[in-house]
Copies of this chain bind each other. A is one copy, B any other.
Amino acid sequence: MSTTMTKKAPKYQKIKQYVLQGIASHNFIDGVPSENQLAEKFAVSRMTARRALDDLEREGSVERIPGKGTFVRRSGNYTQGFFRVRPFRKWAEDLGADLRTEVLESQVVDPPEEIAEVLEYRGQMIRLCILNYLNDIPVRYAVRYLRADHCADILWENLAETSIHDILINKYRLPLTRISQSMTAVGLPESLAGLFGEEPGYPVFYFQRTVYSCESPVTYVEYFMRGDMAFKDTFTPMLEAGDFHPERS
């Protein structure tokens, strides 16, 4: 007893505190100190400074851009509502499963009225129908619409191997700034039963997603995903305002 047994505060904790304080005080509006700067300031190795920034990035406070620097994440750190989108590829990676992608259709079409409305565009669109397999089991079917004037050349890409989001971002320079989606559980429509090798009515997840770039809609996509594909997640509950538990009064 005697001494207050100060635990042992890791050095990277102090660095995190420092950065968080700086963020709160709006001191780092044009960039958090670099890893080297932090390392020097706190007389630690770069790996230690880096560890602090690693944590902050995972916690959503900070964003890192290779070759440029580390920046305060705009709009603070709020994990909005419900979801985070996770690229299907990463998912497959995490599961250690083989991902196979089959492009069933890719052509220019005249969009149905609802789609034209959602994408706020009345011209022609590209429709992509894509089936994803995990370990040779058909797991997800996607019907996607893209404005033909935005990215007609996308028909020439290797869509089976490249993420469409990546193409939009990197090739067409469409930063994806907002995603709006809805998820329900529905019975598998008859028209898709064959693709999945299940009976109509088999429970599936149904997503409807609109992706925006700078407030203008870029692509709309519907997913049907096998209901037995579990979304598993482990996380720390975010204490929403009011969920606070004062550790005593």
Residues of chain A having any CB pair with chain B under 8 Å: 17, 20-21, 23-24, 57-61, 63-64, 73, 75-87, 90-91, 93-96, 161-163, 165-166, 169-170, 173, 175-187, 201-205, 227-243, 245, 247-248
Contacts and interface: CB of A to CB of B under 8 A. Distances in A.
Q: How many copies are assembled?
A: 2
A185 B204 contact: yes
Contact of A77 (B23, B81, B85, B232): B232
Contacts of A76: 232, 234
B81 A84 contact: yes
A247 B157 CA distance: 12
A8 B77 CA distance: 31
Nearest to A96: B20
Contact of A237 (B60, B77, B179, B243): B179
Contact of A94 (B64, B78, B228): B78
13 contacts: A60-B234, A79-B233, A80-B232, A81-B233, A82-B231, A82-B233, A83-B231, A83-B235, A85-B237, A161-B247, A169-B243, A177-B236, A183-B232
Contact of A83 (B21, B58, B60, B82): B82
A161 B84 CA distance: 30
